[in-house]
């Protein structure tokens, strides 16, 4: 996948104009220096992306994944830190995800037993003539694996999608698009389980879908709302100025009788936060991520955050997903919700690709305010 993603339509234009990372409500730090014109450009690779839920990873083995069209491998080194390499051994380009995490904390390629440390340096080439030759071969930069910066935050494993010394510096200048409420250790904040799915449609279609309130009672009939009774007019009132670097935010109106307000907040590159505030002061927060993996696919990671009101009353969650349940059951049941509109988005993307030429607005009919950001 190239580092540019072509977006179409009102929502896609809005999302495309959002971008990069700076000092958002998620606590991201500004870049120290911006090149001329850089603030108007969304740099896809200079970003933190959530790629996995840490507690779902087996630390004893490497894991193959994808990010922005690159094959990557995640593995935990001897210090207990998760690392990310591009998924090929520099020797014969065999996938390192088919290798082994050794007792000494190195990653071993299972093809010829080359070993790599946590920084990607090759530390063992057993086919070398002697130790001197081995040290010489290992010191050659061509023997190194391609390593990407990583960090754990709020239970997620984040990967910076560029490699090299400059990427290490740039990645430390900003933080991921985290959920500020999860940084609060108050007993008023209840974090429900993370769920994760690879979905057969692109990042842009996911983002457009989750910021569209009108589809919810229709597509998710039986879980959230009723398609015959709750399909109605919505308006989307801008509450934060649209920005290339900071995304956009809007309030949905009208809201349900028990709600005070509902706000959707898109924070580039891959986070949507939906905050529903109840009249009694409680809040339901949907924290949704969609990481571009490869063309036509994205990886969704999401959770619910419930905030009690001043009286200590816990609000209801999204449908039955707010009920107490073990993580494994929540993981299984999450597919019920995600699959309800998955087929629509998959074929919507295919149809648009087949039609190819022409502008989005010349292809579809979008007469209502919920079809666009104004």
**Residue 81: CATH number of its domain:** 2.102.10.10
Task: Assign residue 288 the CATH number of its domain.
Answer: 3.30.530.20
Asked if residue 49 has pLDDT above 70, the reply is yes
Contact status, residue 156 vs residue 179, Cβ threshold 8 Å: no
Residue 306's nearest CA partner among 277, 265, 279 is 277
CA 265, chain centre distance (Å): 14
Pair 241, 294 in one domain: yes
Pair 290, 241 in one domain: yes
Pair 193, 327 in one domain: yes
- The pLDDT value recorded for residue 42 is 86
- The pLDDT value recorded for residue 321 is 86
Pair 83, 202 in one domain: no
Pair 102, 184 in one domain: no
Single pTM value for the model? 0.86
Q: Is 69 helix (H, G, I), strand (E, B) or coil?
A: coil
The neighbour count for residue 258, using CB atoms within 10 Å, is: 12
274: in domain: yes
Pair 200, 66 in one domain: no
In this prediction, residues 23-32 reach a mean pLDDT of 34
Pair 113, 191 in one domain: no
- The pLDDT value recorded for residue 357 is 65
Pair 327, 226 in one domain: yes
In this prediction, residues 191-202 reach a mean pLDDT of 94
3: in domain: no
Q: What is the tally of structural domains in the chain?
A: 2
Contacts of 2 (CB under 8 A, 6+ apart): 69
6: in domain: no
138: in domain: yes
166: in domain: no
**Half-sphere exposure (CA, 13 Å, Cβ side) for 315?**
28
Pair 367, 222 in one domain: yes
Portion of the chain with pLDDT greater than 90, in percent = 67
63: in domain: yes
Portion of the chain with pLDDT greater than 70, in percent = 88
What are the tokens at 173? 């200048």
Asked if residue 71 has pLDDT above 90, the reply is yes
In this prediction, residues 361-365 reach a mean pLDDT of 81
Pair 307, 229 in one domain: yes
In this prediction, residues 141-160 reach a mean pLDDT of 98
Pair 155, 193 in one domain: no
What are the tokens at 340? 């309800």
Write out the H or E segment, with its range, that includes residue 189. Answer: strand 189-191
- Parent domain of 114: 48-160
pLDDT tens string 201-239: 999 999 999 999 899 999 999 888 899 999 999 898 999
- The pLDDT value recorded for residue 334 is 86
- Low-confidence winner among 153-157, 210-214, 250-254, 359-363 (lowest mean pLDDT): 359-363
- The pLDDT value recorded for residue 322 is 84
Judging by beta carbons within 10 Å of its beta carbon (0-12, 13-18, 19+), is residue 307 exposed, middle or buried?
buried
33: in domain: no
In this prediction, residues 299-304 reach a mean pLDDT of 96
30: in domain: no
In this prediction, residues 105-124 reach a mean pLDDT of 98
Residue 177's nearest CA partner among 43, 262, 290 is 290
| Boundary-marking domain end, from 108, 132, 160 | 160
Pair 95, 203 in one domain: no
How many H helices and E strands in the chain?
A: 8, 19
């Amino acid at each position: 996948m190239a580092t540019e993603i072509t977006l179409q339509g009102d929502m896609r234009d809005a999302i495309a104009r959002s971008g990069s990372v700076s000092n958002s409500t998620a606590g991201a730090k500004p870049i120290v220096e911006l090149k001329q014109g850089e603030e108007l450009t969304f740099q896809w690779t200079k970003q933190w992306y959530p790629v996995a839920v840490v507690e779902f990873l087996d630390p004893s083995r490497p894991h193959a994944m994808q990010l922005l069209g690159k094959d990557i491998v995640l593995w935990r080194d001897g210090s207990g830190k998760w690392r990310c390499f591009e998924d090929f051994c520099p020797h014969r380009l065999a996938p390192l995800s088919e290798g082994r995490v050794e007792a000494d904390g190195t990653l071993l390629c299972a093809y010829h037993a080359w070993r790599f440390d946590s920084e990607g340096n090759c530390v063992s080439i057993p086919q070398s003539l002697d130790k001197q030759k081995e040290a010489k071969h290992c010191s050659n930069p061509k023997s190194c694996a391609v390593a990407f910066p990583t960090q754990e935050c709020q239970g997620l494993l984040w990967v910076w999608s560029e490699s090299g010394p400059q990427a290490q510096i740039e990645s430390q200048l900003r933080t991921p698009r985290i959920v500020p409420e999860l940084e609060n250790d108050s007993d008023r904040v209840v974090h429900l389980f993370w769920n994760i799915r690879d979905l057969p449609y692109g990042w842009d279609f996911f983002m457009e879908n989750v910021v569209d309130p009108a589809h919810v009672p229709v597509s998710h009939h039986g879980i959230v709302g009723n398609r015959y009774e709750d399909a109605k007019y919505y308006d989307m009132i801008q509450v934060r100025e649209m920005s290339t670097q900071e995304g956009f935010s809007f309030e949905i109106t009208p809201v349900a009788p028990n709600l005070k307000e509902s706000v959707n907040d898109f924070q580039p590159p891959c986070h949507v936060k939906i905050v529903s505030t109840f009249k009694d002061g409680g809040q339901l927060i949907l924290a949704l991520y969609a990481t571009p993996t490869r063309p036509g696919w994205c990886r969704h990671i999401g959770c619910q955050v419930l905030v009690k009101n001043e009286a200590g009353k816990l609000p209801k969650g999204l449908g039955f997903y707010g009920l107490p349940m073990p993580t494994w059951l929540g993981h299984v049941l999450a597919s019920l919700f995600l699959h309800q509109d998955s087929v629509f988005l998959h074929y919507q993307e295919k149809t648009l690709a087949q039609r190819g030429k022409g502008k989005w607005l010349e292809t579809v009919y979008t007469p209502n305010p919920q079809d666009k950001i104004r």
